[in-house]
Amino acid sequence: MTGRQPARQQRRPLGLIVYGSMILLTLLYTVAIAAPWVAPYDHTEQNRTLPDCPPSSIRFNSPPYWNESILFTHPQRLADPIDRSYTQDDTVRVPVRFLYNGHLFTTAQDDPKFFLLGTDSLGRDLFSRIVYGSRISLSIGVVGVLISFAIGTLVGSFAGYSGGWIDDIAMRIVEVEMSLPSFYFLLALAAVIPPNLSSAATFFVIVALMSFINWAYFARVIRGMAASLREGEYVVAARALGATRWRIIIRHVVPGTLSYTIIAATLSIPRFILGESALSLLGLGIQEPDASWGKLLADAQNVQHLVRHPWILMPGVFIFVTIMAFNFVGDYLRDRLDPRATAGNAG
Amino acid sequence: MSSYLIRRLFHMIPVLLGITFLTFCVVDLAPGDFFSTLKMNPTFSPQMIAEMEREYGYGDPLLLRYVRWLWRALHLDLGLSVAYRVDVTALIGARASNTIILALASMAFTWTLAIPIGVMVALRPNTASDRLLSFLAFFGMSLPNFFLAFLLMYLALQSGWFPIGGTTSLGHESLSFWGRIADRLHHLILPVIVLGTSGMASLMRLMRANVLELKEADFVRTARAKGLDERSVVGKHILRNALNPFVTLAGYEIGSLLSGAALVEAVMNLQGLGALMLEAVRSLDLYLVMGSVLMGSLLLLAGNLLADLGLTLVDPRIDFRRQQQ
């Protein structure tokens, strides 16, 4: 990189936002782990009589009904199956039961269902699908970053520390990787995924593809750091003491790059989330009946459908909020750990 | 300079070979191919399919087909698209112009907004407007392209102010010259906003950081000390230096814009290279995929090269012979 290093940004009083982001991320990951408990219904459960149902309204119960639940909702009825308009039956009160039947909140088995964020065209509860989808959308970033950063650290530190022809070869490979038009190449790669693969297998193929595309930039930065660390006094001392190359790389070079790694990893997670979303959105990633946030947004590609059922955009809000939280946390870490890092490599 | 240029061009050869060979292998690895979908189509007779297979050199070893493709590509013949039954070169040429227009337009959009805002904000750091814009920058950086596209399409359809999908209206050909340009621009507005927003936020932040750093630089203090007025201090001393890294960025941005444009085209239903590539991938139209990837890589490499050359012109301190580092 040739550009100058921008000055350290003045530390902004972002504490509240950063803490909020951390809490939000913890919450989201907890939800992903406890998905079957948090989701009121199963994510594949279809209510064929309630397609494209708008979000149910949630009301507070007044005193005489407190024995039922503090919240209740009114059931929706399909008024016109052609243009899928609904009427709300205000005469019936359906209590929302908490910690009931192995769910955080749900409705009783015989009661009409309630849909916090509406349903999709097959009558599946969108909120439950978002909760289950978070498992894929949230883990893809972490797993992808782990893989690509492991490769990047390995190649970068080895090339940078060794120098010479090893460095030359590694950097040529990195250059080819970085010259790939990444999205075009990702599309071509995604075509390789056999359509009959299970969702878990598809998940790992997607992670592998995106790691394969993303490791190069990182390897190049680590290589630069390793090349300068190799002249450090403690590395020279280790060499003089007769430590082997691998020992020096693992014990002395890699730890020196760690603070950069942590920052870059946090800021790279959004790229993986976006990549998976884009692929699934275009129908090349996660397949039905499984859900990821991007897959859920695929319905919105039909503009007419989107205008009549705007709640199908909700998964996008989740993607947006998650990415923003990662950006806030990553930016904060950069302020704290690495004052010299460039400000421009987040996107 | 020219020796540097020649060396850089030579460097591009192995890169292009690597990319195209990799893509060729990948598409070949894909389960099924275009002909297997054709075979399920009863309107095509087996003889016809067999003839097409022969025509496209189907069944030969991978390496042989790759070398044959490469030889023809060197003669600017990218083969026939199996799905469209047209020349890939013509197809890509028609679509690439749309993508390039979109990428350049959104670059112009982001730069004309991001740089002045970044400078303005940096000259008055830590004021309310700085905080607000910095926060909005985070907002813009985090807003996924496709999500913004859906939001804007929703609003456009509700309000009816902007056309959705396509790069021209139905009656485009019958319009006058200026009418055609206006029609084109009208269709460009939404995609440009979608594509430009995320880049704008990070550019603004970078500009802000650059200017903040340069404000403290020695030569700026000297300029002030010798009595220059604020306008020439900012315009001639701070701004010119702050813009330096942006020349490099411009080239690298072309790459991310091309990738971004592909997704925006696919989501917003525009006739561009990205949408073409998506179709080609879906129907496993090998030569069309190869052509699109080659075109994308060429644009990307050209962008990077222009950026490096531009930087040596703007900043004579940078020695292009040592720039490989």
Question: At B47, is the pLDDT very low, low, confident or very high (cuts 50, 70, 90)?
Answer: confident
C-beta atoms of B151 and A346 within 8 A:
no
Q: Do B131 and A12 touch (CB under 8 A)?
A: yes
- Rounded to the nearest angstrom, the minimum Cα separation between A29 and chain B is 19
pLDDT (0 to 100) of residue A24: 94
Residue of B nearest to A299 (CA): B150
SS3 A107: coil
Question: Which range is most confident: B45-49, B73-77, B119-123?
Answer: B119-123
Query: pLDDT, tens digit, for every residue of B272-302?
Result: 888 888 888 877 777 788 888 888 888 888 8
> Best mutation site among A17, A130, A183, A209 for testing chain B: the one with the most B CBs within 10 Å?
A183
- Taking the C-alpha atoms of residue A28 and residue A20, their distance in angstroms, rounded to an integer, is 12
What does residue A174 show for φ and ψ, rounded to 5 degrees?
-60, -40
pLDDT tens digits for A203-255? Answer: 888 888 888 888 888 898 888 888 888 888 888 888 889 888 888 888 888 88
A278:B146 CB<8 A: yes
DSSP 8-class letter at A230: T
Mean of pLDDT values over B6-29: 81
Cα–Cα distance measured from residue A39 to residue A34, given in angstroms and rounded to the nearest whole number: 9
Q: Average pLDDT, stretch A302-308? A: 84
CA–CA min distance A290, chain B (Å): 20
Of A9, A185, A190, the CB nearest to B209: A9
Q: Which of B30, B153, B206 sits opposite A192 (nearest CB)?
A: B30
Mean pLDDT over A35-48 rounds to 85
The mean pLDDT value for A178-189 works out to 78
For testing the chain A interface, which of B146, B241, B299 should be mutated: the one with the most A CBs within 10 Å? B146
Is residue B166 within 8 A of residue B183, CB to CB? The reply is: no
| Mean pLDDT, residues A2-11 | 46
What share of chain B in percent tops pLDDT 70?
88
What is the per-residue burial (b if ≥16 Cβ within 10 Å, else e) of A316-334?
Answer: bebbbebbbbbbbbbbbbb
Alpha carbon distance A89, A281 (integer Å): 35
Q: Do B154 and A192 touch (CB under 8 A)?
A: no
Rounded alpha-carbon distances, angstroms, from residue A95 to A42, A66, A72, A90, A92: 19, 10, 4, 13, 10
**pLDDT, average across residues A88-116:** 80
CB contact under 8 A, A320 and B293: no
Which range (A99-113, A194-208, B38-52, B149-163) has the least confidence? B38-52
- Identify the band that residue B13 occupies on the pLDDT scale cut at 50, 70 and 90: confident
pLDDT of residue A130: 92
Confidence of residue A322 (pLDDT cuts 50, 70, 90): very high
Provide the pLDDT for residue A319. Answer: 94
What is the DSSP track for B196-257?
Answer: HHHHHHHHHHHHHHHHHHHHT-HHHHHHHHTT--HHHIIIIIIHHHHTHHHHHHHHHHHHHH
Residue B242 and residue B210 in contact, taking contact as beta carbons nearer than 8 Å = yes
pLDDT at position B256 over 80: no
Least-confidence region, from A182-191, A221-230, B198-207, B215-224 = A182-191
- Inter-chain residue contact B26 with A188, CB threshold 8 Å: yes
Q: Do A325 and A317 contact (CB within 8 A), yes or no?
A: no
More confident residue, B247 or B148: B148
pLDDT tens digits for B74-94?
A: 877 777 777 777 788 888 888
* pLDDT above 50 (res A346): no
Measured between alpha carbons, how far is A6 from A3 in angstroms, rounded to an integer?
9
A178 or A318, greater pLDDT: A318
Assembly ipTM: 0.83
**Mean pLDDT across A286-298:** 87
Alpha carbon distance B192, B98 (integer Å) = 12
Segment of A133-147, B69-83, B194-208, B289-303 carrying the highest mean pLDDT: A133-147
Lowest mean per-residue pLDDT among A177-181, A275-279, B54-58: B54-58
- Strand segments (E) across chain A: 58-60, 71-73, 76-80, 85-88, 94-95, 97-100, 103-106
Q: Which among A158, A175, A179, A145 has a CA at the least distance from the CA of A265?
A: A145
What mean pLDDT comes out for the span A23-43?
A: 90
Q: Percent of chain B, pLDDT > 90?
A: 1
Q: Taking CB atoms and an 8 Å cutoff, what residues of chain A touch B283?
A: none
Q: What is the mean pLDDT of chain B?
A: 80
- Contacts A10 to B, Cβ<8 Å: 125-126, 212
Contact A185 B164 (CB under 8 A): no
Query: Is residue A12 within 8 angstroms of chain B, CB to CB?
Result: yes
C-alpha distance from A331 to closest chain B C-alpha (Å) = 10
Spatial CA neighbour of B274 closest among B99, B149, B102: B99
pLDDT category at A134 given cuts 50, 70, 90 is: very high
A282/B266 CB distance under 8 A:
yes
Q: What does the pLDDT read at residue A2?
A: 39
A16 CB within 8 Å of a chain B CB? no
User: Per-residue pLDDT tens for B107-117?
Assistant: 889 888 888 88
Listed in sequence order, the DSSP H helices in B124-176 are 128-142, 145-159
d(Cα B41, Cα B126) in Å, to the nearest integer? 66
pLDDT at A344: 40
**Nearest CA of chain B to the CA of A206: how many Å?**
14
Instruction: State chain A's mean pLDDT as an integer.
Output: 82
Lowest mean pLDDT among A155-159, A334-338, B72-76, B225-229: A334-338
Q: Å from B65 to nearest chain A CA?
A: 18
Phi/psi region, residue A95 (left: phi>0; alpha: psi -120 to 50; beta: rest), is: beta
State residue A6's pLDDT score: 47
Amino acid A64: pLDDT: 67
Cβ distance A344 to B205 less than 8 Å, yes or no, reads: yes
- A94 to chain B, minimum CA–CA distance in Å? 32
A contacts of B304 (beta carbons < 8 Å) = 179
